[in-house]
Structure 1
Amino acid sequence: MEEEEEENQSLLELSIGESSLRRAMELISSLIPLTYSIKVFHVKWQLIRNKLEELISGLTAAENCDSCENSAFSDLIPSLVLTVNHCYDLARQCVDLSYNGKLLMQSNLDVVSAKFELHIKNLGGIYSTRILTHGYPIVVSRPSNGACRDDMKFYVGDLFTRLKIGDLEMKSQALVALSEVVGEDEKYVKIVVENGEIIALLVNFLEFSEMEIQEESTKIISIIAGFDLYRGVLVGAGIIAPLIRVLESGSDLGKERAARTLQKLTKNSDNAWSVSAHGGVTALLKICTNGNGKGESITPVCGILRNLSGVEEIKRFMVEEGAISVFIKLMRSKDEALQISAIEFLQIMASGDESIRKMVIREGGIYSLVCVLDPSSSFSSKAREIALRAIESLCFSSTSSLKILMGYGFLNRLLFFLCNDEVSVQELAVKVTYNLCVTSEETKKAMGDAGFMPELVKLLDVKSFGIREMAAEALSDLVLVPRNRRRFAQEVYNVERILKLLDPDERKSGNKKVLLSILMSLSSCNSGRRKIQRSAYLKSLEKLAEAEVMDAKRIVRKLSSNRFRSILNGIWNS
C-alpha cells in the first residue's frame, strides 16, 4: 500500500510539474509578440526578447525530456513564472506609456533582464549536470521554405539555447542543424551574425577537444566568412587565433575548413597581419612541408600564403622561413591542384622581385615548369597554361634565364603547343611565342632553326582573330633576322600565303599592315624578291599599291627597281 501511495504521489507531482512547465511556456510565448509592439526603450526590450526566446527554446527541450520531476527543475519554474508576470506588467506599462518616470522604468527593465539571465544560467546548470536526459531527437522542426523571419529567428534561438546549455550530444546535433540552414539560406546567416553570442560560442567551440564539435563549428564559420559583409564580425570576435590552432592540431577535415576560412579572411591585408602575428605563417609552411601531397587540404593553405604575400614584410618573413624551397618541392607534387597552387604562389612571389626570381631559378624552378609542358605527360590544359605564364614571367626578362630555359628543350615544347588544336592553349602559346621573339636576336635565330615560321604561317588564317594577329606579329619579328628571312623565302607556300591574305576579298586577311611589313623584310633578300615577283598572287599587292597604301607602294617600287636593275645588268653583261 505504501509503495502504491508513493507511486501515485510521484505521478501527481510529475503532472503538476508538467502543467507548470506548460504554463511558463505559454506565458513566455504570449509575452514575446507583445514586446514587438513596444515603441520605447527599444534596446532594452530587444535584449529581454532575446533572453525570452532563449528561455523558451530551453523549456521546449525540457518538455520533451524524461526527468521533469526532479526538484531542481521544480524550483526553477515558479520563480520563472513570477519574473515573466512581472515583465508582462512592465510591457503593458511601456505599451500604454503609463509608467512613472523613464529612469525608474529603465532600472526595472535592467532588473528583470538580470533575472532572466539568472534563469537561463540555472536552466543551463540543470542540463550541464545531466539532470535532464534526452528522450527525443534534440533538434526541433525546421521552418519550411519561405517561412517568415520571426519563425527563422525562433528556430535559430532554439538552436542557440541547445548550443549554450546542452551536453556534447545536444551541441553536436544543434551544430549540424545550424550548418544546414546557413549553408542553404543567407537569411539564416544574417540572423546568426546579428546574434553576437552565437558567433562567440562558435569561436569557443574551435577550442574543444571533441573533433566533431570543432569540425562542425569550423564549417559554419567558413560559410559565414564567404560573405564580405560578415568577415569583420568574425575577426572582431577573435576568430583568427583559434583557426590557426585548428590548423596546427585539428583533424584533417577541421584543418581543411579552417584553411578555407582563413583564405577568405586574408583577402583583407589587415587580417593578413593578424594571421602573421599569431604565428600563422610558420604553421602554414609546416603544413605545406608535411602535407603528404594531400591537395584538397594544402591547396587552401597555399591560397592563404598567396594572400599573405601581398604584404611586403610578411613576404620577406616567408622567404626567410624557407617558403621558396617548400613550394619548389610542391611544384613536383603528383596532385595537380596542389602543383598549380604552388606555381601561382611562386609566380606571385617572384613578380617584381629579382632576388626571389633568381632564387626560384637557382632551386630548379625552371626545370619543374618545363616538365609540366612535356607532351607525353598527363597534365591538364590548365596546368600547362599556368606553367607557360610562369615561364614567361620568370625567364623572359633575363638572358641567363633564357639560356637555361632553352637548354631544357623549351622551344620544342612551345612549338608542340603552337600546333595544338585546343584554342585556349594554342592562343597562349602564340602569345608566349610573340613575347619570346622580342627578347633577343639569338632567341629569334633559335626559333627560326626550330621551325616556328612555317607553323606561324599556318595560323594566319585560323578562326580566332587573336591568334591570327599575334601569329602575324611574331612572324614579322622573326623575318627581321637575315638568316630567318632566307629560310622563310625558300618555301614558296610561305610567300604565296601572305600575298593571298592581302587580297581585299580574303575574309581572314588579318592585319594588312603587319603582313606588308613581312613582305617588306622579304623584299630585302634576292630569294624573297624573286618569290614575290613570280607569285600568282602578286596582283593582291599591286591592288593595294593602286589604292595608295604606302607600304604596298614601297614594296612594289622596290620590286620594280630591282627588276629594272636586273635588266640593265643583263644588257651590260651581254
Structure 2
Amino acid sequence: MGEESGEKSRPVIERAIESISSLISLSHSIKSFSVKWQLIRNKLDELYSRISAVENLDSDVDPSLSSLVKAILCSLKECHCLASRCLNVSYSGKLLMQSDLDVISGKFDRHVRNLSLIYSAGILSHGFAIVVSKPSCRACRDDIRFYIRDLLTRMKIGDVEMKRQALIKLNESMEEDGRYTKMVIEISDMVNMLVEFLDSEMGIQEEACKAMLLISGFDLYKPVLIRSCVVGPLVRVLENGNCVGREASARCLMKLTENSENAWSISAHGGVAALLKICTCGEFSGELIASSCGVLRNLGGVEEIKRYMIEEDMVSTFIKLIGSKDEIVQVNSIDLLSSMCSRDEQSREILVREGGIQELVLVADPNSLSSSKAKEMALRAIHNLCFGSVSYLNALMNSQFLVHLQYLLRNGEASVQESALKVTYRMCSLPMEEVKRIMGDAGFMLELVRFLDAKSLNVREIASEALYGLLSVPKNRKKFLQDDGNISYILELLDQEEMRNEKSDLGDTKLLISILMSLTRCNRARRKISASGYLKSIEKLAERKDSDAKKLVKKLSKNRFRTILGSIWHS
C-alpha cells in the first residue's frame, strides 16, 4: 500500500511544483492589487521551497503528505483562476476580489504550516539525498531565488547532513556568482539562519563560516552582517572552532574590521584576547595567525586597543613572527608592526629594544629565503619606522643594511627595487653628512644614475632627488666627477627631455638641472658642461622661462667670462 501511495504521489508533487512556478510567473504580469499579489508570491515561494525538498525523496512518501499536496493543487488551480481574472480585469468588483485574494493567501499560509508539521514529524530521513539542480549561468532572478529558497528550506527542516550539504551548495553558488550572494541578503531570515549555524555542530559551523566570509567580501553587505549580530558567534568560533572554521572566521573578521566602527564590537565580545592568544601560541596554522594579525592591525587604529596590545607585550610577539618561514605570516606581522609603531613612540622604542630592526633587515637580506613580497614589506616598514631618531638609524646602519639595500637596488624585482629606492631617497634626505658620505663611498651614486632613465616618471624623480642629496656632499661630488661618463650621461638625458618636452610641460628636466647646478660647484664640472655640445639645450630651456635653467646658464656664463679674462691676463 505504501509503495503504491509513493509511486502515485511523485507525479502529484511534480505537478504542484510546475503549477507554482507557472503561477508565480503569471502573477508578475498582473498590474492590479500589486501588494496582495506580492504577499501571495512570497507564500508561493515558501511553498515551492518546502515541496521541492521532497521532490527527490528516495523512500516512500507519507500518505499525509500526498493528501496535502493534492489539497495544495486545488488551491493553486483556484489561484490560477483568480490570476486570470485580475489579468483580464474580468472581476465583478474590487472589494470582492480583494476578499478572494485574502482567502487564497490564507489557504497558502495554512498549507505552509501543515507542511512544516509533517516535516517536524520526521518524514525527511537521514538518507534523504539532495539532488538540486543549480540554475544555469544565464538563469533569471526568479530561478536563482527558487534555488536559494529551496536550500533555505533544507536548512530549516533537514537533519545535520542535509543542512551541511545545503550549505556546501550555497557556498559553491555564491563563490561562482555574486547574484546568489545578493539573493541571500534579500531573502528574509537567510542571514539570521547562517548566524545561528555559527553556534551549531562543527561541520555546519565550518560551512556557515565560509558563507559569512563570502558575504563579507561585498562592502555593501557588511552592515547587514553586523546588524545580524554576527561578531559574537564569529569570536566564539575563533575560540572553539576547528581549524577551517577558525581561519574563515578570522578572515571574515578582518574584512568586517576594515571599518573601524566595528572594532569595539570585536573587543566587547573578547575578540582581542582570542586573537592575541592565537598569535602567541604558535600551534595554529600560518593562515590563521596571518589573518589574526590582519584583524589586530585593523583594531590597532583604536588607541585604547593598541595600548592594551602594548601592555600585553605583544610587540615582542609580533617581532618573533617576522622570523616565520610562512610568507603570509611574515607579511601580515610586518604590516601590523608598521601600523602599530609608525605613530607611537613607545611601541617604536620597544621595537628597537627587542631587535625588531634587525629582524626586518634579515628579511630584506638577499640571501634570506624570504619572498619578494616579504622583502618589499620589510623595506616599507624600515622606511616608516627607522628614521625617527639617531638611535633608530644607528641600529639600522649597524645591521649591514646598506649592503642589502644596494644589492636590491641593482638586482631586486621591480616592486622591491622601487621600495629600496624610496628607502635610499629617505636616507639621502637626512641632514647627516656622514651617512651620505658612507653611501657615496659604497657606490650608491652609480646605482641611482641607472634609474634616471627609468620608464616611470615617479622613479626618475625619486632617483634624481636622492642623487641630488648625495651630491650635496663635496667628497661625493668629486667622486662622481671622476668618471666623465656620469656628467655626459646626465647632459644627454637633459637633451632628450628638452626635445621630448619642447611642446609640453618641462617634465623632470628641473631635477636634472638641479643635479647639474649641484655639480657646478666644481670647476671641472663647469668646464665640462660649457665645452659640451649640450649647452644649447640648456640655453633653450632658459629661453622658455625655466628659472633653474637660467641660473645654470648664468653660472656657466660667469665661468666662461672668467676663462676669457684669464686667457687675456696671461697673454
> With structure 2 as the length reference, what TM-score do the two structures score?
0.83
Correspondence 1:416-565 to 2 at 5 A: 416-420=407-411, 422-441=413-432, 442-461=434-453, 464-498=456-490, 501=493, 503=495, 511-524=508-521, 528-530=522-524, 532-533=526-527, 537-541=531-535, 544=538, 549-557=549-557, 559-560=559-560
How far apart, in 1, do the equivalents of 2:509 and 2:15 lie? 90
Structure 2 vs 1, CA of residues 45 and 479 (structure 1 numbering), >3 Å: closer, same or farther? same
Correspondence 1:135-284 to 2 at 5 A: 137-209=129-201, 211-284=202-275
Does structure 1 retain, via aligned residues, the 8 Å contact 2:316–2:354? Answer: yes
Post-superposition shift, 1:333?
0.6
How far apart, in 2, do the equivalents of 1:40 and 1:504 lie? 74
Deviation string, structure 1 residues 286-326 (Cα, Å, up to 9, x no partner): 22222447332332222222222223333333333333222
Structure 2 residue 278 is matched with structure 1 residue 287: yes
Residue identity matched to 1:250? G
How far apart, in 2, do the equivalents of 1:37 and 1:515 lie? 71
RMSD over equivalenced CA pairs, Å:
3.8
Does structure 1 retain, via aligned residues, the 8 Å contact 2:2–2:60? Answer: no
Correspondence 1:346-357 to 2 at 5 A: 346-357=337-348
Q: How many pairs align?
A: 556
Structure 2 residue 294 is matched with structure 1 residue 303: yes
1:115 to 93, 110, 115: 110
SS at match of 1:147: coil
Does structure 2 retain, via aligned residues, the 8 Å contact 1:206–1:242? Answer: yes
Range moving further from structure 2, 96-105 or 453-462: 96-105
Post-superposition shift, 1:42?
5.2
Gaps of 5+ in 2: 502-506, 544-548
Quote the residue 1:5 is aligned against: none
Does structure 1 retain, via aligned residues, the 8 Å contact 2:32–2:86? Answer: yes
Structure 2 vs 1, CA of residues 418 and 148 (structure 1 numbering), >3 Å: closer, same or farther? closer
Correspondence 1:373-452 to 2 at 5 A: 373-420=364-411, 422-441=413-432, 442-452=434-444
SS at match of 2:144: helix
Deviation string, structure 1 residues 180-217 (Cα, Å, up to 9, x no partner): 222222222222211122212111111112x2212222
Post-superposition shift, 1:271?
2.1
Does structure 1 retain, via aligned residues, the 8 Å contact 2:322–2:329? Answer: yes
Correspondence 1:289-368 to 2 at 5 A: 289-292=280-283, 294-368=285-359
Quote the residue 1:4 is aligned against: none
SS at match of 1:345: helix
Structure 2 vs 1, CA of residues 508 and 431 (structure 1 numbering), >3 Å: closer, same or farther? farther
How far apart, in 1, do the equivalents of 2:273 and 2:295 lie? 12
Does structure 2 retain, via aligned residues, the 8 Å contact 1:163–1:171? Answer: yes
Does structure 1 retain, via aligned residues, the 8 Å contact 2:300–2:340? Answer: yes
How far apart, in 1, do the equivalents of 2:514 and 2:21 lie? 85
How far apart, in 1, do the equivalents of 2:86 and 2:525 lie? 100
Range moving further from structure 2, 514-523 or 474-483: 514-523
Does structure 2 retain, via aligned residues, the 8 Å contact 1:52–1:116? Answer: no
Structure 2 vs 1, CA of residues 463 and 54 (structure 1 numbering), >3 Å: closer, same or farther? closer
SS at match of 1:304: helix
Structure 2 vs 1, CA of residues 36 and 467 (structure 1 numbering), >3 Å: closer, same or farther? closer
Structure 2 vs 1, CA of residues 166 and 506 (structure 1 numbering), >3 Å: closer, same or farther? same
Deviation string, structure 1 residues 398-425 (Cα, Å, up to 9, x no partner): 2221111111111222122222264433
Residue identity matched to 1:55? L
Does structure 2 retain, via aligned residues, the 8 Å contact 1:434–1:470? Answer: yes
Structure 2 vs 1, CA of residues 124 and 530 (structure 1 numbering), >3 Å: closer, same or farther? same
Quote the residue 2:546 is aligned against: none
Post-superposition shift, 1:267?
1.8
How far apart, in 2, do the equivalents of 1:475 and 1:422 lie? 21
Does structure 2 retain, via aligned residues, the 8 Å contact 1:51–1:116? Answer: no
Structure 2 vs 1, CA of residues 350 and 170 (structure 1 numbering), >3 Å: closer, same or farther? same
Identical-pair percentage: 47
Deviation string, structure 1 residues 451-478 (Cα, Å, up to 9, x no partner): 3233334444455544443333222222
Post-superposition shift, 1:366?
0.7
Quote the residue 2:504 is aligned against: none
Residue identity matched to 1:220? A
Post-superposition shift, 1:63?
4.8
SS at match of 1:419: helix
Does structure 1 retain, via aligned residues, the 8 Å contact 2:49–2:149? Answer: yes
Range moving further from structure 2, 239-248 or 414-423: 414-423
Does structure 1 retain, via aligned residues, the 8 Å contact 2:428–2:466? Answer: yes
Range moving further from structure 2, 398-407 or 378-387: 378-387
SS at match of 1:196: coil
How far apart, in 2, do the equivalents of 1:103 and 1:54 lie? 22
Structure 2 vs 1, CA of residues 77 and 355 (structure 1 numbering), >3 Å: closer, same or farther? same
Post-superposition shift, 1:570?
8.1
Does structure 1 retain, via aligned residues, the 8 Å contact 2:428–2:470? Answer: yes
Does structure 2 retain, via aligned residues, the 8 Å contact 1:76–1:122? Answer: no
Does structure 2 retain, via aligned residues, the 8 Å contact 1:523–1:559? Answer: no
How far apart, in 1, do the equivalents of 2:390 and 2:491 lie? 35
Post-superposition shift, 1:563?
5.1
How far apart, in 2, do the equivalents of 1:69 and 1:463 lie? 73
Range moving further from structure 2, 96-105 or 198-207: 96-105
Range moving further from structure 2, 464-473 or 230-239: 464-473
Does structure 2 retain, via aligned residues, the 8 Å contact 1:488–1:494? Answer: yes
Deviation string, structure 1 residues 90-114 (Cα, Å, up to 9, x no partner): 8799884847589978986885565
How far apart, in 1, do the equivalents of 2:497 and 2:97 lie? 89
* Structure exhibiting the larger radius of gyration computed from Cα positions: 1
How far apart, in 2, do the equivalents of 1:181 and 1:415 lie? 50
Range moving further from structure 2, 183-192 or 503-512: 503-512
Residue identity matched to 1:533? R
Post-superposition shift, 1:508?
9.7
Deviation string, structure 1 residues 514-560 (Cα, Å, up to 9, x no partner): 44444444444xxx424653689545347746967433334335545
How far apart, in 1, do the equivalents of 2:110 and 2:524 lie? 104
Residue identity matched to 1:553? V
Residue identity matched to 2:229? G
